[in-house]
Chains A and B, each alone.
Chain A
Amino acid sequence: MNDKLNIEDIFKEKFENFSQVPQKNVWNYINRKLAIKSFLKFNLLNFNIYYVGIITSALIISGSIMLNSENNKITIKDNVQKEITTIQKQTENNVEAENVPVITQKDIKKNNSVLDNNQKVTNEIHSNKSIVDKTIIENVNNIESQNSIVKNENTTIGLISKAEFSADNYSGCAPITVNFTNVSENCIKYRWDFGNGTKSNEANPNIIFENAGKYKVKLFASSEKEDLIYERTIIIYEKPKANLIVSNKNDLFTGDEIYFTNTSISGNKYLWKFGDGTNSETANPVHKYEKSGNYSVKLIAISEKSCIDSSEIIKIAIKETKYKVSAPNAFTPSLDGPKDGNISSSDYSNDIFAPIFISDVAEFKLRIFNRRGILVFESTNPKFGWNGYYRNEISPSGVYVWECSGKFIDGENFSNSGDLTLIYSK
């Protein structure tokens, strides 16, 4: 077993903080990838000269395709070529025309029918030359695809619509405000469904998700032509509830063990801040304060999904031990008649009840009551305690309450109380 620990420890110790600077080319590679990525990410905001360039080159390429197809069309009659140029002109005009789709479609139909007729004619002429036929069909296809390319370009410039949104948080801890940013393109109307019963018509809504859960957020966007939906899931994790109980908040002294009980809900890890600069990660810690003073104790609970909650601050007052006033909680009075109440340090009989002081007291008042609230004993001398007798009769066994207050010789006030059990058997 010893060996096992050794091996693991050797490696763990050395590897824990092992680091090595990678070569510069690694960042260069990442940088290049990032540049490509951000370039390809189409965004109207950074619509720039590159996109204009791409569209222009697409136009040039399509233009040359058209030229090639014209060259190939030796066998087609002149009127076909005329038709092609008409299509070209019309489609070019259509770019600026208002009712683009309607006109274009009509024209295409018209042109196609003309082409069909011409094809038939040419088919008749070159019925034995299938290769030429194929060329014609290809040409017709070219013309058609040419139309669709031009149509696409029309829409690229102003008519492709896209529904999309981004959020500043796709996951988080409840309750959380999520700011949605609408990055839809060419849409007019927006409608949101956040999956939590909330709906909105705003363009960029901010929504509070109060409870944990998986929410399917839908954006319905309408352009002039179509209705689009974009959906993304937002995951909200449950927030823990940090809660604590202190064993005793009053009469705490330096060096006393203070017991903290963790009553948090759905916490996984904990951090206690005792206010004296020390922390603990124990679930239920025991803490001692070294110095007197007022401390603020706080518990931070962290859930499995790293959601955090802080408890309310608990104030704890710690007094110097020298001001501690304590008392035994039971005593056995002498059955042989009342003793005088003088306390002697050599008397271990436990016949007299009195509070115990560490420092000397200047003023002192002790009162003891029975269960009915009747004052059974009173003393102003700290060296003089109760012998258990009331009006020269031994008091019945049972529980009594004591109350003690006064002043230490250095002027510090004190007051304490407690219960005590009187025990005897005859």
Chain B
Amino acid sequence: MIDTEEIIEKCKRNDREAQKLLFETYSPVLFGICLRYARDKFEAEDTLQDGFLKILNKISDFNGTGSFEGWMKRIIINTAITNYHKNKKHNLNLDIEEIQETNIEGTSYNGSDYTAEELLKIVNTLPEGYKIVFNLYAIEGYKHKEIAEQLNIDINTSKSQYSRAKKLLRKKLELFSKIKINERQA
């Protein structure tokens, strides 16, 4: 186990070895977050690069209280949100009409059917706006009010995007497990 406090102190002094160690220790978790927000692996790498530079830049502001990992995660999430804002004009936004209400009866999926990588693929098929709201609300546990403030959208937009994201995900999960069952049978 590494001594986080010592590493933080060294990073504050710009010790390159400590910075590398910090990166090696935490980058897998942070990259996991980036992958959820980014459209592809390359974008995730960009987010990680930007975010980690911010972390090293601001590490002297970290006052030693509270969770260091939580602080880094927040910076990464905030970087992802910033990137979302930056890329917004390039993103394809789906209109409401394109989302078909799905029949939610007879759901035939449960958690153990999927690996994290498969779920990641499914989340990444969501339209950007839905994806970021879903990530922030369901995984990070942000409140709709906070999401609305962060993304500069209406609180009701956040709520409706979230519920549509869930409907889409449900549909995709069903589809996915059907395919899997078929594959097993074949």
Known: A15-B36, A31-B16, A33-B53. A22 touches B27 (CB 8 A): yes
**Across the interface, do B170 and A3 meet the contact criterion of CB distance under 8 Å?**
yes
| Nearest CB in chain A: distance from B99 CB, A | 16
CA A271 to CA B160, docked complex, whole Å = 37
| Nearest CB in chain A: distance from B14 CB, A | 6
Number of interface residues of A (CB under 8 A): 39
**Across the interface, do B111 and A308 meet the contact criterion of CB distance under 8 Å?**
no
| Nearest CB in chain B: distance from A5 CB, A | 11
Interface string of A15-27 (1 = CB under 8 A from B): 1111111110111
From B60, B65, B110, B119, name the one whose CB has the most chain A CB atoms within 10 angstroms.
B65
- Cross-chain contact of A7 among B14, B31, B45, B166 (Cβ < 8 A): B166
**Across the interface, do A10 and B35 meet the contact criterion of CB distance under 8 Å?**
no
- Cross-chain contact of A3 among B19, B104, B111 (Cβ < 8 A): B104
CA A311 to CA B120, docked complex, whole Å = 45
**Across the interface, do A11 and B107 meet the contact criterion of CB distance under 8 Å?**
no
Chain A residues in 8 Å Cβ range of B166: 4, 7-8
Is B20's beta carbon under 8 Å from chain A? yes
| Nearest CB in chain A: distance from B34 CB, A | 8
**Across the interface, do A14 and B31 meet the contact criterion of CB distance under 8 Å?**
no
**Across the interface, do B29 and A9 meet the contact criterion of CB distance under 8 Å?**
no
Q: Which of B24-61 contact A (CB under 8 A)?
A: 24, 27-29, 31-32, 35-36, 44-45, 48-49, 52-53, 56, 60-61
- Cross-chain contact of B16 among A9, A23, A29, A34 (Cβ < 8 A): A34
| Nearest CB in chain B: distance from A382 CB, A | 56
**Across the interface, do A26 and B45 meet the contact criterion of CB distance under 8 Å?**
yes
| Nearest CB in chain A: distance from B1 CB, A | 17
- Cross-chain contact of B20 among A3, A6, A31 (Cβ < 8 A): A31
Known: A15-B119, A20-B28. A27 touches B23 (CB 8 A): yes
**Across the interface, do B28 and A13 meet the contact criterion of CB distance under 8 Å?**
no
- Cross-chain contact of B45 among A8, A18, A23 (Cβ < 8 A): A23
Known: A23-B45, A171-B63. A11 touches B139 (CB 8 A): yes
Known: A21-B28, A27-B23. A173 touches B110 (CB 8 A): no
**Main SS at interface, chain A:** helix
Chain B residues in 8 Å Cβ range of A333: none
**Across the interface, do B32 and A15 meet the contact criterion of CB distance under 8 Å?**
yes
Q: Which of B121-136 contact A (CB under 8 A)?
A: 123, 134
**Across the interface, do A30 and B23 meet the contact criterion of CB distance under 8 Å?**
yes
**Across the interface, do B116 and A15 meet the contact criterion of CB distance under 8 Å?**
yes
Taking residues whose C-beta sits less than 8 angstroms from the other chain, chain B's interface range is 35 or more
- Cross-chain contact of A14 among B53, B104, B107, B116 (Cβ < 8 A): B116
**Across the interface, do A30 and B114 meet the contact criterion of CB distance under 8 Å?**
no
Q: Which of B73-116 contact A (CB under 8 A)?
A: 104, 107, 109-111, 114-116
- Cross-chain contact of A10 among B19, B24, B65, B173 (Cβ < 8 A): B173
**Across the interface, do B29 and A19 meet the contact criterion of CB distance under 8 Å?**
yes
**Across the interface, do B27 and A10 meet the contact criterion of CB distance under 8 Å?**
no
Is B169's beta carbon under 8 Å from chain A? yes
| Nearest CB in chain B: distance from A331 CB, A | 56
Interface string of A171-193 (1 = CB under 8 A from B): 11100000000000000000000
- Cross-chain contact of B123 among A11, A23, A31 (Cβ < 8 A): A11
Is A307's beta carbon under 8 Å from chain B? yes
CA A18 to CA B44, docked complex, whole Å = 14
**Across the interface, do B36 and A29 meet the contact criterion of CB distance under 8 Å?**
no
**Across the interface, do B110 and A169 meet the contact criterion of CB distance under 8 Å?**
no
**Across the interface, do B35 and A20 meet the contact criterion of CB distance under 8 Å?**
yes
Is A230's beta carbon under 8 Å from chain B? no
Is A306's beta carbon under 8 Å from chain B? yes
Is B153's beta carbon under 8 Å from chain A? no
Chain A residues in 8 Å Cβ range of B104: 3
- Cross-chain contact of A11 among B28, B31, B138 (Cβ < 8 A): B138
Chain A residues in 8 Å Cβ range of B116: 14-15, 18
| Nearest CB in chain B: distance from A281 CB, A | 14
Closest-by-CB residue of B relative to A2 is B107
Is A170's beta carbon under 8 Å from chain B? yes
Show 10 residue pairs from A and B whose CB-CB distance is below 8 angstroms, ordered by the A residue: A6-B107, A7-B169, A10-B114, A11-B123, A16-B139, A22-B28, A30-B49, A31-B16, A34-B19, A306-B63
Shortest beta-carbon contacts, A-B, top 6: A306-B66, A19-B28, A306-B65, A18-B32, A10-B111, A14-B116
Q: Which residues of B are in contact with A by a Cβ distance under 8 Å?
A: 14, 16, 19-20, 23-24, 27-29, 31-32, 35-36, 44-45, 48-49, 52-53, 56, 60-61, 63, 65-66, 104, 107, 109-111, 114-116, 119-120, 123, 134, 138-139, 166, 169-170, 173
Q: Which residues of A are in contact with B by a Cβ distance under 8 Å?
A: 3-4, 6-23, 25-27, 29-31, 33-34, 38, 169-173, 302, 305-308
A26-B31, A307-B65 given; 8 more Cβ-contact pairs under 8 Å: A7-B138, A18-B120, A19-B31, A22-B28, A26-B48, A34-B14, A305-B65, A306-B63
